[in-house]
Amino acid sequence: MTSHLASALPVPSDHPVAASGKIGVLLVNLGTPDAPTYWPMRRYLKEFLSDRRVIEVSRLLWWPLLNGIILTTRPGKSGAKYASIWDKAENASPLLVITRRQTEKLAQTFAAEPRLVVDFAMRYGKPSIASRIDALRAKGCDRILIVPLYPQYAAATTATVCDKAFEHLMTLRWQPAVRIAPQWHDDPVYIEALASSVRQSLARLDFEPEVLLASFHGVPKNYLIQGDPYYCFAMKTGRLLREALGFSEDRFKITFQSRFGKEEWLKPYTDETVEGLAKSGVKRLAIVAPGFVADCLETLEELGEENKEIFQHNGGEHFAYLPCLNDSPEGQRVLEHVVTRELQGWI
């Protein structure tokens, strides 16, 4: 009775307007520079490589190296790589274009639920997590589901999305209720989507690969030793995908790419494996990247171009990079499944 009377009382004239009653879904991917040129690349790399979860080296050692050498030389090199895959029609990186399409299609999927508002953000670069949380709040979202777009949890990916979101929440007087979607590395819907996508991609090739590599982004081995579960999640995804495809262990191998610096990273390394397979006489090779939900620099340029060159330079003949799930029906089915699962009790 008291709450009913309270709700019926007139609102004071100086009461601030506060929209509420909606539920936000915020997809968050890694990030992208605004352009493949020096200064946008430098800004992006500085934000990315300043993250303490990405680079855990002592700041006393890291800051001089980052600001004195890396941010002087790496923007030009990385910019050239981005330029080779840049979506000129959209004037944006493939990662941004695909994430936007994923968001638009997901919004269409949930169009019958008027309370849901679907948006996306990037951990590094634009649109920022803080700006999209504010945008969702302005639309009346007092509950927000944040979905880090990483099927396998890692401190350097999923956790840093949480860090940035919570950092912004600390500045808000009226915080929305927030949920973080957990990893889905072994979810049957995800595994079947991967297997279906791989089957379709293989069927389109004009050759049959002797070996299929499942390449995951690497992290320093020390992160695993300190308790990061990423390696275990990646290995389980790979094993489940291999079993779903019906491949033998000789024909399906799990590797790790994108190592940086001289520290030991998770092994086996993708580039060294590709070279070794070519030198051993393998002539037909395909690579898939199950840990990426959208194609990006690490898949299109590093796997699709650099590793192709390594393979063919060392005696390989036929090479194919198989695309990520992206905004395909299989990929959208996974996102819909994860979001629906994590919204239980809210809708």
Detail the residues annotated as belonging to a binding site for Fe(2+): 217, 298
- Residue whose entry in the numeric block shows the structure tokens 């302005």: 138
- Residue whose entry in the numeric block shows the structure tokens 């803080």: 130
Closest among 295, 230, 229 to 256, alpha carbons compared: 230
Give every CB contact of residue 324 below 8 A, 6+ residues apart in sequence: 289, 292, 293, 294, 295, 299, 331
Break the chain down into helix, strand, coil percent, rounded to 5: 50, 20, 35
Cα gap 246→219, rounded to integer Å:
28
DSSP state of 298: I
Inter-axis angle of helices 329-342 and 188-204, nearest 10: 170
Annotated binding site: 217, 298
Give me the amino acid identity at 72. T
Q: In what order do the strands lie in the sheet with 22-32?
A: 116-125, 22-32, 141-148, 177-180
> How would you label 36-57 residue by residue, b for 16+ Cβ within 10 Å and e otherwise?
beeebbbbbbebbbbeebbbbe
Cα gap 26→188, rounded to integer Å:
23
Cα gap 168→135, rounded to integer Å:
13
At 165, list the tokens. 């979101």
Closest among 75, 17, 26 to 46, alpha carbons compared: 75
Closest among 245, 242, 241, 25 to 144, alpha carbons compared: 25
Inter-axis angle of helices 230-245 and 188-204, nearest 10: 60
